[in-house]
Amino acid sequence: MKRSLSNILLFNLFLLSFACSKDEPEPIKSLNIKFEVTGNFSGTIDATYITAGGGATNESLLSLPWTKSIIYESTVSGTTITLGGGGGAAGQTLTVKVFAGGSIISETSGVANSSGIIVIASPTYIF
């Protein structure tokens, strides 16, 4: 009886060694990001996004469509973009698309309120 119990325990340990093997490592996500802003918003638009080195910066968008391509340093953990605008007309729109390695990873749209103000924040992309 002791022998069969030992065999069962050894067999279970053998099975567990395969069941608990390490998962495949996650593929490295692209550090090549492109932001694209389109729409019919006629007011002033400011974008805040993460720079290649990991800091934040503000930029005024002078015309639409607007694009910004950034190749991030390996020490940066993620990126995002936020748009804010004023002086537009109620119902005008903006759309921000985020591409990683040429593939779209998010698309977020917004509509100006009755005061002509619009705010859009894309989801954070973690590398």
State pLDDT tens for residues 67-97. 999 999 999 999 999 999 999 999 999 999 9
Asked whether the predicted pLDDT for residue 13 surpasses 50, the reply is no
Cite the beta strand spans of 26-90 per DSSP E: 32-39, 44-50, 56-61, 66-71, 78-79, 81-86
The rounded mean pLDDT for the chain is 86
Q: What pLDDT score does 29 carry?
A: 77
pLDDT band at 102 (very low <50, low <70, confident <90, very high): very high
Q: Which residue has the higher pLDDT, 30 or 13?
A: 30
What topology does CATH give the domain 27-126?
A: Lipoxygenase-1 (2.60.60)
Q: Where are the domains of the chain?
A: 27-126
Q: What pLDDT score does 10 carry?
A: 41
Q: What is the CA radius of gyration of the chain?
A: 24
pLDDT digits (tens, 9 = 90+) for 32-50: 999 999 999 999 999 999 9
Q: What pLDDT score does 17 carry?
A: 46
Q: What pLDDT score does 24 carry?
A: 61
